[in-house]
Amino acid sequence: MGSKFTLFKRSKSLQPEESEETRLAKERRRKLLQPDLPKLIGGSKNEVLSNPRNASTLVPQLQASLAPSRRCHDWKLLYSLAQDGCSLHTLLLKARKQNPTLVVVETTKGDIFGGFASEEWQDSANYYGIGESFVFSFNSKFKCYPWSYLNTMIMLSNDECIAMGGGYAQPALHLRWAS
């Protein structure tokens, strides 16, 4: 004779009522594990990324990659190609005395990449910064590349370029403006 397996789902009406205290405790736990997403001050999501769906996927993953002490702050738009034009000088001027900063670049092909800079951008011929910084890419999937401890190529900025991360004598992120 064949065996039978029956699965019963517990009816909601038979489940004990959850107390208000239990419900509030669960909500607090959920908020701790999944903090509110940051608000973008001084711009719109469309100004940063052309596709709003990319922003709704990218922002939570970027936030989760930040150190816990950095996750609870809103984000302020300091520089936008659309608002400020194509000027490395303007970008560095607006980023001066601002830290941390998040660099987000979307190419004309729709590729998205960038970096989190935990230190203030400064004019320097040499790399500087601390290991809390990272670079990322986002095409169909988000990939975060934290500091590898193999070198000190964390941040570089001067009147020719900004660069982050990397190895093998080449930065992972390198933005250079044509003169």
> pLDDT, tens digit, for every residue of 58-108?
888 888 888 888 887 888 888 888 888 888 888 888 888 888 988 998 888
CA atoms within 13 A of residue 22's CA, in its CB half-sphere = 4
β partners of residue 174: 163
In a domain, 14, yes or no: no
In a domain, 12, yes or no: no
CA distance 85 to 83: 6
Residue 108: predicted pLDDT: 87
In a domain, 8, yes or no: no
CA distance 161 to 81: 15
CA distance 84 to 77: 11
Determine the average pLDDT of the residues in 99-126. 89
In a domain, 26, yes or no: no
CA distance 173 to 122: 16
pLDDT band at 142 (very low <50, low <70, confident <90, very high): very high
pLDDT band at 12 (very low <50, low <70, confident <90, very high): very low
Residue 10 has pLDDT above 50, yes or no: no
Residue 165: partners with Cβ closer than 8 Å, 6 or more residues away = 115, 133, 134, 135, 145, 147, 153, 154, 171, 172, 173
> For residue 60, is the peptide bond before it cis, meaning its omega torsion is within 30 degrees of 0?
no
In a domain, 2, yes or no: no
Determine the average pLDDT of the residues in 144-152. 87
The structural domain count of the chain equals 1
pTM: 0.74
Residue numbers of the domain that contains 74: 39-176
In a domain, 163, yes or no: yes
In a domain, 48, yes or no: yes
In a domain, 87, yes or no: yes
CA distance 67 to 38: 14
From 46-50, 52-56, 155-159, the region with the lowest mean pLDDT: 46-50
Choose between 12 and 70: higher pLDDT.
70
CA distance 174 to 78: 19
